[in-house]
Amino acid sequence: MKKMGLLLIILMAVTLSAIPASKNMTFKVGLYAPAELKAGAIWGLEYGYAIDENVSLLFGGDLY
């Protein structure tokens, strides 16, 4: 439950800080379960700026 709350706080902070940003700002939030992880899952949050259709700057964070 703590992870969900922390993820929600991070998502709200990123969203509020990006309101004045351009339309090219992109956000991805997801639940990842890589094969190497034997138990549990990884909460992932990525945001970035799309330079063009093929190139983007991404910043990511994971909560284990």
The domain in which residue 59 lies consists of 2-63
Q: What is the pLDDT of residue 26?
A: 56
Reported as a single tens digit per residue, the pLDDT across 10-22 is 877 776 665 555 5
Q: What is the pLDDT of residue 21?
A: 53
Tokens of 15: 């969203």
Q: What's the rounded Cα separation, in Å, for the pair 54 and 47?
A: 16
Q: What is the pLDDT of residue 53?
A: 52
Reported as a single tens digit per residue, the pLDDT across 23-48 is 555 555 555 555 555 555 545 555 55
Contact 47, 18 (CB under 8 A): yes
Q: What is the pTM of this model?
A: 0.31
Position 25, amino acid: M
Instruction: Count how many residues are written for the chain.
Output: 64
What number of CA atoms fall less than 13 Å from residue 49's CA on the CB side? 4
Tokens of 24: 């090219």
The answer on pLDDT for 64 being more than 50 is no
Instruction: Please give the tally of structural domains in the chain.
Output: 1
